[in-house]
Amino acid sequence: MVECRNGICLYKIRVVTNNNKKKMKIDFSKLQVETRIEQFDELDLREDIGNILFSNASTLAEDELARRIYKSEGAVEMTEKEAEMLVNSLKASKVVFRVVQAVEKQLK
């Protein structure tokens, strides 16, 4: 669309974004973690996971996700890319497998 006034023409463009990206939710205050063989307990790991991500953040996106998790009052919504970033960061930080597994299960 073009709009002209006093010999100056402005072109209006419409930007279309793909909002169909899959969103995932995970409640870090209610993670089902295997604490003993075949025994699962519900743990609140918001602060722990938030701090782990924060301490290893190398991008603004990782820092922002860490803060969202730390301050969350319920389920945290994230994109597939953020979920992948989260799991990779936990693994790189050598977080115990049981916690990584609990996060991955809730992301499914």
Q: Any idea where the domains of the chain sit in the sequence?
A: 19-107
**pLDDT at residue 101, rounded to an integer:** 92
**pLDDT at residue 16, rounded to an integer:** 46
**pLDDT at residue 6, rounded to an integer:** 76
Q: Are 24 and 85 in contact (CB under 8 A)?
A: no
pTM of the full predicted structure?
0.74
- The residue whose two tokens read 């010999």 is 7
> What is the CB-side half-sphere exposure of residue 26 using CA atoms within 13 A?
31
d(CA 76, CA 61): 14
